[in-house]
């Protein structure tokens, strides 16, 4: 049996992203959303979540330690001198090693991010992260302890084999990034499962970032193994405003491409054709 969680990342990045995500939620093609606690449109995301009460959607924490501003003060190692996170590439390098002082700051910030969701009335059903840093050596132990402390039942493991379906041009930059994420995810799986935290058996989306389309879904779905798979997506409406800041480039035409795929009238029937059932969780 093939079961699939379709998760929309970066909820809270901006209102255009939120609008697209919740279009897909209402179409029943997105079964999980991951929320940026420090996203500029966090309050808008909370309002939209409240508007879909009754839908079985898995709301999760999208840990962010790499872009924008932290929720905590007094951080030295997690931030640059201007008080902002370091950015994607420096953060990936920073979290690739272990450092006790850094891990203390991570614990403080992670606790603040969890509490922001809980204080907004959001039940956290899963954890993942911006740039998948929750599986990195400096972060994994803190993330696992937080999941146990707050009784968060599921955690993403972004481990994905190189896709065999095509045609799909994979740049060397994307392939190298996917290899890094998959390696750390594979190492983190043992710690996560030993702690009794649920995961999916399979993961897809590293190689489809910004290019999810109906033709590629028709290539992907027949190759899904039996069991539970998470498909990471990034749907949204293109931001037509003049917004600025670390999340200003998030809502682009690539996001609309993914959204239109999820909203396509044939999307659910294609899943059915290949014997794939949607689910919000790993239960």
Give me the CATH number covering residue 124: 3.20.20.370
What is the tens place of the pLDDT at every residue in 83-139?
999 999 999 999 999 999 999 999 999 999 999 999 999 999 999 999 999 999 999
Q: What are phi and psi of 26, to 5 degrees?
A: -70, -25
Q: What are phi and psi of 12, to 5 degrees?
A: 105, -5
Query: Cα dihedral sign for 193, 197, 201, 202?
Result: negative
- Residue 283, in any domain of the structure: no
What is the tens place of the pLDDT at every residue in 16-46?
999 999 999 999 999 999 999 999 999 999 9
Given this model, what pLDDT does residue 166 score? 61
Residue 252 has pLDDT above 80, yes or no: no
- Residue 148, in any domain of the structure: yes
Of 87, 21, 38, 31, give the one whose Cα is nearest residue 200.
31
Res. 174 pLDDT band, cuts 50 70 90: confident
- Residue 263, in any domain of the structure: yes
Residue 144 has pLDDT above 60, yes or no: yes
- Residue 166, in any domain of the structure: yes
Burial of 182 (0-12, 13-18, 19+ CB in 10 A): buried
- Residue 121, in any domain of the structure: yes
What total of structural domains would you count in the chain?
1
Q: How far is CA 271 from the centre of its chain?
A: 21
Residue 283 has pLDDT above 60, yes or no: yes
Pairing status of strand 126-129 against strand 2-11: unpaired
Provide the domain limits for residue 239: 2-278
- Residue 195, in any domain of the structure: yes
- Residue 157, in any domain of the structure: yes
Res. 249 pLDDT band, cuts 50 70 90: low
Cα dihedral 246, 251, 252, 258 in deg (nearest 10): 130
- Residue 175, in any domain of the structure: yes
Given this model, what pLDDT does residue 170 score? 80
């Amino acid at each position: 049996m093939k079961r699939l969680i379709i998760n929309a990342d970066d909820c809270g990045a901006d209102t255009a992203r939120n609008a697209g995500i919740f279009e897909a939620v209402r179409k029943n093609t997105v079964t999980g959303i991951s929320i940026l606690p420090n996203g500029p449109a966090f309050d808008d995301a909370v309002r939209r979540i409240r508007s879909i009460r009754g839908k079985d959607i898995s709301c999760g924490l999208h840990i962010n330690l790499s872009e924008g501003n932290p929720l905590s003060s007094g951080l030295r190692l997690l931030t640059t001198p201007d008080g902002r996170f370091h950015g994607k590439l420096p953060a990936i390098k920073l979290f690739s090693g272990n450092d006790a002082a850094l891990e203390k700051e991570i614990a403080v910030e992670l606790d603040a991010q969890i509490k922001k969701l809980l204080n907004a009335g959001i039940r956290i059903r899963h954890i993942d992260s911006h740039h998948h840093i929750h599986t990195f050596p400096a972060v994994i132990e803190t993330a696992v302890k937080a999941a146990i402390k707050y009784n968060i039942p599921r955690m993403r493991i972004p481990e994905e084999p190189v896709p065999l379906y095509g045609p799909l041009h994979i740049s060397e930059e994307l392939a190298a990034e996917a290899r890094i994420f998959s390696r750390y995810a594979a190492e983190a799986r043992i710690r996560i499962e030993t702690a009794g935290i649920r995961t999916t058996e399979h993961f897809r989306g590293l190689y489809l970032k910004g290019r999810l389309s109906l033709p590629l879904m028709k290539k992907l779905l027949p190759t899904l193994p039996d069991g539970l798979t998470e498909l990471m997506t990034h749907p949204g409406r293109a931001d037509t405003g003049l917004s600025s800041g670390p999340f200003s480039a998030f809502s682009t035409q690539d996001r609309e491409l993914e959204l239109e795929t999820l909203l396509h009238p044939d999307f659910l029937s294609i899943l059915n054709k290949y014997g794939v059932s949607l689910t919000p969780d790993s239960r």
